[in-house]
């Protein structure tokens, strides 16, 4: 269990995180901000993974744009 991580930090950990972040960036946010942002990023990442698992989807290595083949678009329109 050396690599075990808690899903949610303890109350003390939350306070430390918020305090250090606010000091570093000169803002006044709460832990709720971090939690909501993390949840939002997780949802986006899951959608990205689902999209990348689709046949016909590629990422341009230079521009990092997501490209879809014509057959992929036809399949999506038929759904």
Q: What is the mean pLDDT of residues 27-31?
A: 94
Q: Tell me the average pLDDT of the chain.
A: 84
- Pairing outcome for strands 66-68 and 57-59: antiparallel
- Distances in whole angstroms, Cα of residue 10 to Cα of each of 4, 6, 30, 77: 14, 9, 15, 47
Q: Is the pLDDT of residue 36 over 90?
A: yes
How is the chain split into domains, by residue range? 11-78
Residues with Cβ < 8 Å from 22, sequence gap 6 or more? 28, 29
**pLDDT above 70 for 19:** yes
């Amino acid at each position: 269990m050396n690599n075990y991580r808690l899903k949610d930090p303890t109350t003390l950990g939350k306070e430390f995180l918020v305090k250090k972040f606010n000091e570093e960036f000169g803002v006044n946010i709460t832990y709720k901000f971090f939690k909501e942002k993390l949840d939002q990023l997780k949802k986006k990442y899951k959608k990205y993974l689902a999209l990348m698992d689709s046949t016909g989807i590629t990422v341009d290595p230079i521009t990092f744009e997501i490209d879809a083949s014509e057959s992929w678009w036809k399949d999506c329109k038929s759904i």
